[in-house]
Amino acid sequence: MSVLINKTYDEIQVDDSATFERTLTEKELVLFAAVSGDVNPVHLDPEFAKTTMFGEQIAHGMWSGSLISAALATVLPGPGTIYLGQELSFRLPVKLADTLTVTLTVKEKLSKNRVIMDTLVTNQDGKKVVVGTATVMAPTEKAELQAPVLPDITIG
Amino acid sequence: MSVLINKTYDEIQVDDSATFERTLTEKELVLFAAVSGDVNPVHLDPEFAKTTMFGEQIAHGMWSGSLISAALATVLPGPGTIYLGQELSFRLPVKLADTLTVTLTVKEKLSKNRVIMDTLVTNQDGKKVVVGTATVMAPTEKAELQAPVLPDITIG
């Protein structure tokens, strides 16, 4: 069981940085389609995807957005963070077996515990997949939580 | 099997509008945690959630973002849309059994088939949960696709 430890507003400093990594598999394509309702065949059907400009199945763009939100909520600032806003610019498609790294960097501390974070998603070739900026309200109280263990999810 | 029909750049007019609706259940909380990696207990553990400022389990903020992306990809403009960017401002928490409605409205047609869309998410009380703006490249070719049927997903 993993432990989630936050960084409070007082502890956070400009240029603090953290990363979060995930690899795209068929499982993410199916689960993201189910949870969002985006059943576009470019994500789900390899034969259809071959006929598109991408030539193969690609991830839902907002899957990268979900990784950014996960990084903010579990790593920096971590538990207790309130998500206020996000700007996203989608730059490159994500393909099966691509490994994405979210890099969060603190750009600015504002009043009322608000923090502006640079949110960059790169692939295994170091290319920018998504660039963006998050605004969060950082926690004021230190927290150290056991991450819940998810139930088994079976597909098909 | 449902059919996805797109609206091409030429067909799209300013003020065109479409909606997309989903209800939050335990299933969405677990699937979004699994697919994003955001295992924060405020989304997953009812006892822990009672101790937070929300008082009960809430949805991942980016779940609302995923509904916006699903609406763009499947309804307006629909299949063939390229997602270029999204701004999101998270206003209110989403609780179990809340029904969210994404309302997309075309604000502006730009060169190179780009379209600016207003992306509003409201709850069953008509309150604004997320406000934002999407930039997409609309399809130029008419498409009518069978939506793939997702495999069964079993939790637990």
Torsion of the alpha carbons at B32, B38, B41 and B45, rounded to the nearest 10: 20
Report CB contact under 8 Å: A69, B38.
Answer: yes
Candidates A38, A48, A86; nearest CB to B70 = A38
Q: Specify the pLDDT at position A50.
A: 96
A147 contacts in B (CB within 8 Å)?
39-41
Q: What is the pLDDT of residues B19-29, one digit of tens each?
A: 999 999 999 99
Spatial contact of B32 and B43, defined as CB atoms under 8 Å apart: yes
Q: Specify the pLDDT at position B1.
A: 58
Is pLDDT above 70 for B131? yes
Spatial contact of B30 and A151, defined as CB atoms under 8 Å apart: yes
Q: What is the pLDDT of residues B30-56, one digit of tens each?
A: 999 999 999 999 999 999 999 999 999
Give strand pairing partners of B30. none
Candidates A66, A68, A146; nearest CB to B66 = A66
Q: CA nearest A149 in B: which residue?
A: B39
Q: Specify the pLDDT at position B71.
A: 98
Q: CA nearest B149 in A: which residue?
A: A39
Q: Specify the pLDDT at position B2.
A: 87
| CA angle (B119 as vertex; A77, A52 as ends), nearest 5 | 95
B-proximal residues of A, 19-48, CB under 8 Å: 20, 22, 28, 30-42, 44-45, 48
Q: What is the pLDDT of residues B51-89, one digit of tens each?
A: 999 999 999 999 999 999 999 999 999 999 999 999 999
B4 contacts in A (CB within 8 Å)?
39-40
| Whether A126 contacts chain B with CB within 8 A | no
Listing DSSP states for B50-72 in one string gives HTSTTSS-B--HHHHHHHHHHHH
Residue A99 is encoded by which pair of tokens? Answer: 């490994």
Report CB contact under 8 Å: B35, A39.
Answer: no
- CA–CA separation, B98 and B58 (whole Å): 10
Question: Block means of pLDDT (10 residues each) for chain A, length 156 residues?
Answer: 92 98 97 96 94 95 98 97 98 98 98 98 98 98 93 94
Candidates A40, A70, A89; nearest CB to B37 = A70
